[in-house]
Amino acid sequence: MAASLCLAGGLFATPGAWAVESTNDTAALASTQLTSLEPGYQLPESMPSADDHVEPAQHEPASGIDLERVQDLESIVDDARKQAQVEYLARKLGKPALAVQQYVHLAWAEARRRTGLSPELLIAIMHRESTFQPKVQSSYGAQGLMQVVRRWHREKLRASESLFDPAVNVRVGADILEEYLELVGGDLSKALAKYSGNTRGYAKTVIGESRKLAQVADLAAAEVATASWLTEEASAEYAG
């Protein structure tokens, strides 16, 4: 693997040099630079105060929305998004779907624990850095899915942890990206450039791939939502 895959390497001061601050704000700025149509559930603008008396029967939504059904549908849509991305990557790389499925799911799980990092962005970095090979190592010492250089980021790892462990690698890679986003004020292109060791065209490639992954997921989500709506319409007509 070329030395340009040094990723997160020695061009930067150690993390101890930065102030210890939350990365949520700057990471959220970065997320606006990607096209994202994630489904969401918006809470009501006003909630009852502690002084309001609410009868037990009023705990259910006044609109009559079945929240369990909404949550089930959201889970189904998320599964469709992930599966669509797995199939897209498998076709693109000429690999079995099982060869990339674990890593797509890891990216989604890691993104859920953070603010402003989409799963598509993490997947795109893995694709660019290692083509989903968890045991790969560059001549520079970059390891694993997101090609992390251990000697530059020891404080992010426990002594017993290995960067060849996919879950550890994705967690540390996401930590590094958040750190660089904080450093550059949320500019995703600049953060990705730092992550890659200023590799030419790296940020453009990763952002482009993340957008494509989001489009693939959005199409699958729309198909599932449409199918669900048609099923409910048919059920309502039959019941009527």
Mean pLDDT of the chain: 78
As a whole number of angstroms, the distance between CA 176 and CA 160 comes to 19
Find the Cα–Cα–Cα–Cα dihedral 41, 45, 46, 50, rounded to 10°. 60
What residues contact 44, with CB distance under 8 A and at least 6 apart? none
pLDDT value at residue 233? 52
Amino acid at 93: L
pLDDT at 26: 47
Q: What is the pLDDT of residues 101-154, one digit of tens each?
A: 999 999 999 999 999 899 999 999 999 999 999 999 999 999 999 999 999 999
- pLDDT tens, residue by residue, 37-59: 343 333 334 444 445 454 444 44
